[in-house]
Amino acid sequence: MTTAGTTTGESLPPALTAENLVVEYPAGRGRKVHAVSGVGLEVAAGETLGILGESGCGKSTVGRSLIQLPPPDSGTVRLGEVTLTGLAPAELRRARARMQIIMQDPVSALNPRRKVKDLVWEGLSIWGSGDDPRDKDTRIDAALRDVGLDPATVRDRRPHELSGGQCQRVCVARALLLDPEVLICDEPVSSLDVSVQAQILNLLETATRRRGLSMVFIAHDVSVVKNISDRVMVMYLGKTCEVLPSDGMQDEAVHPYTRLLLASLPEAQRGPVAVADPAVSDGPAADLPSPLDPPSGCRFRTRCPLATGLCSEAEPPLRDIRPGHRVACHHV
Ligand SMILES: Nc1ncnc2c1ncn2[C@@H]1O[C@H](COP(=O)(O)OP(=O)(O)OP(=O)(O)O)[C@@H](O)[C@H]1O
Ligand SMILES: [Mg+2]
C-alpha cells in the first residue's frame, strides 16, 4: 500500500477521475445488458483503488471504460487534467499511453510470434521515445530485470517458451516501460498458480510504490483486493454499493452486500458465485437478478436482509458517512 494515497484520495489532485459511467451492451430483440449504470471513481496519485464484486457485476467493463477500449456509452473519464471521453482518436491514443492495462490472461495478451525483447519494446516503439533505438537493448534489459526476469535467459524467447507467471511479468515490463501514471489491472493474477500470484502481486505493489503510480486493481478475491488496495470500491450488478478504506474494512463495512462478501471470504476465495449472467445459460441463476432487467430502486434489494418497500421504490444515493467512506443504502 502507498503512503501518498490517503484513505480519502483527497490530499492530492486525482490521477484518474470517472463520473457517471454508463455501459449497455445490446442483447438482441431490443434488450440490453445494463452492465455499468452510473459508476464514478477517483484515484489519487500513488493510490491503489480496488474494485471488488461477483462475476458479471461490471468490473471489467468499468476497467475498459477507463482506458476507453471501448469508451463508455456516457460519462466522463479524466486522466490528470485531460478529459479522455470525447477526444479525437489520435489525441486519445497519445493520452492513453499514460494509462496501461494488465489483463487476466497474460499469454493471450502477447503476440505469440514475437520475441520477448520485441514484445517489451512494442508499446514504446508506437507511443513513446522508442524512435531513438540507441539505448534500446539496455532499456529492454533493465525493464526485464525490474520485473525479476533474467534478460539473457528470456529476451529471445517467445511467449510459449515462458510460464504464465513469466508472461505476466513481460506484460508488466512492457506497461512500465511506457512510464504510465495509471495502471489498470484486471484480475492480473486470477489465471496463475497461488505461489506465482503472490510474486506478481508483490511485483505490482513494489513497482507502483517505487514509481508513485496510481493503480486500479480489479478482482473478485476479497483478500487479494483488500491487501493490495488503499481503498476498495464494491460493485453489485453495475452499481457502486460502498467505497471504503481497506484498513479495517472487515469491521467498518456497513453495506449488507459488502458484509455478505466479507462473511463469505472462504467462498469468495474459492471463486465467484453468480450474479445472473445472460451470457451463461446453465447457471443456477433463476432467482438471481439479471442485468438485462435489474431490480427497481436498490439493485441488491432482492437478496438483502434489510430490504423494505422503500428499496424497491427509490435508488439509494451513494453518500458520505465519514471521510473516505461512502455507502449506497437506505438502511445504514
Ligand atoms: N461485449 C459484451 N457484450 C455483451 N455483454 C457483455 C459484454 N461484455 C460484458 N458483458 C456483460 O456485461 C456484464 C458485466 O460484465 P463484466 O465482464 O464487466 O463483469 P465482471 O465483473 O468483470 O465479471 P468477471 O468477474 O466474471 O470478470 C455481464 O452480464 C456480461 O455478461
Ligand atoms: Mg472481469
Check which CATH number belongs to the domain holding 313 and give it. 3.40.50.300
Q: What percent of the chain has pLDDT over 70?
A: 87
How many Cβ atoms are within 10 Å of 104's Cβ, its own excluded?
18
Whether residues 92 and 158 fall in one domain? no
pLDDT score for 129: 59
pLDDT score for 132: 63
Asked whether the predicted pLDDT for residue 265 surpasses 80, the reply is: no
In a domain, 278, yes or no: yes
pLDDT score for 120: 94
**CA 134 to chain centroid:** 35
Query: In the Cβ-directed half-sphere of 168, how many Cα atoms lie within 13 Å?
Result: 24
Average pLDDT, the chain: 88
pLDDT score for 94: 87
Whether residues 312 and 225 fall in one domain? yes
Whether residues 222 and 148 fall in one domain? no
| Domain membership of residue 138 as a residue range | 106-179
pLDDT score for 130: 55
pLDDT score for 195: 86
Q: How far is the CA of 135 from the centre of ligand 1 (A)?
A: 41
* pLDDT average, residue stretch 140-148: 93
pLDDT score for 284: 37
Q: How far is the CA of 187 from the centre of ligand 2 (A)?
A: 7
Asked whether the predicted pLDDT for residue 185 surpasses 80, the reply is: yes
Q: Give the integer Cα–Cα distance in Å for 73 and 87.
A: 14
Asked whether the predicted pLDDT for residue 326 surpasses 70, the reply is: yes
Model confidence at 327, in pLDDT bands (50, 70, 90)?
very high
Report the 3 state secondary structure along the chain: CCCCCCCCCCCCCEEEEEEEEEEEEECCCCCEEEEEEEEEEEEECCCEEEEECCECCCHHHHHHHHCCCCCCCEEEEEECCEECCCCCHHHHHHHHCCEEEECCCHHHHCCCCCCHHHHHHHHHHHHCCCCCHHHHHHHHHHHHHHCCCCHHHHCCCCHHHCCHHHHHHHHHHHHHHCCCCEEEEECCCCCCCHHHHHHHHHHHHHHHHHHCCEEEEEECCHHHHHHHCCEEEEEECCEEEEEEECCCHHHHCCCHHHHHHHHCHHHHHHCCCECCCCCCCCCCCCCCCCCCCCCCCCCCHHHCCCCCHHHHHCCCCCEEEECCEEECCCCC
Number of domains observed in the structure of the chain: 2
pLDDT score for 280: 40
Listing from the earlier edge strand, what are the strands of the sheet with 48-52? 99-102, 182-186, 214-219, 48-52, 231-236, 239-245, 325-327, 319-322
Asked whether the predicted pLDDT for residue 119 surpasses 50, the reply is: yes
Whether residues 89 and 145 fall in one domain? no
Model confidence at 107, in pLDDT bands (50, 70, 90)?
confident
Model confidence at 5, in pLDDT bands (50, 70, 90)?
very low
Alpha-carbon torsion angle 221, 213, 38, 243, nearest 10 = 60
pLDDT score for 157: 97
Whether residues 242 and 160 fall in one domain? no
pLDDT score for 200: 92
In a domain, 52, yes or no: yes
In a domain, 199, yes or no: no
**CA 80 to chain centroid:** 18
Whether residues 19 and 164 fall in one domain? no
**What does each C-alpha distance from 49 to 41, 191, 201, 275 come to in angstroms?**
9, 21, 14, 22
Asked whether the predicted pLDDT for residue 134 surpasses 80, the reply is: no
**Is ligand 1 within 6 A of the CB of residue 61?**
yes
Asked whether the predicted pLDDT for residue 272 surpasses 80, the reply is: no
Asked whether the predicted pLDDT for residue 125 surpasses 80, the reply is: no
**Is ligand 1 within 6 A of the CB of residue 272?**
yes
Whether residues 162 and 240 fall in one domain? no
Q: How far is the CA of 276 from the centre of ligand 2 (A)?
A: 14
Atom of ligand 1 nearest to the CA of 104: 27
Model confidence at 266, in pLDDT bands (50, 70, 90)?
low
pLDDT score for 322: 93
Best residue for ligand 1 mutational test, from 24, 25, 190 (most atoms within 8 Å of Cβ)? 25
Whether residues 91 and 228 fall in one domain? yes
Residue with more model confidence, 6 or 251: 251
Domain ends where: 127, 156, 179? 179
Q: How far is the CA of 103 from the centre of ligand 2 (A)?
A: 9
Whether residues 91 and 189 fall in one domain? yes
* pLDDT average, residue stretch 228-234: 97
Lowest mean pLDDT among 229-243, 253-267, 311-325: 253-267
In a domain, 323, yes or no: yes
- Residues near ion ligand 2 (CB < 5 Å) are 60
CA angle 288, 289, 295 (to 5 degrees): 140
In a domain, 205, yes or no: no
Whether residues 128 and 91 fall in one domain? no
* pLDDT average, residue stretch 7-36: 85
Atom of ligand 1 nearest to the CA of 58: 18
Asked whether the predicted pLDDT for residue 281 surpasses 80, the reply is: no
Residues contacting 150, CB < 8 A, separation 6+: 144
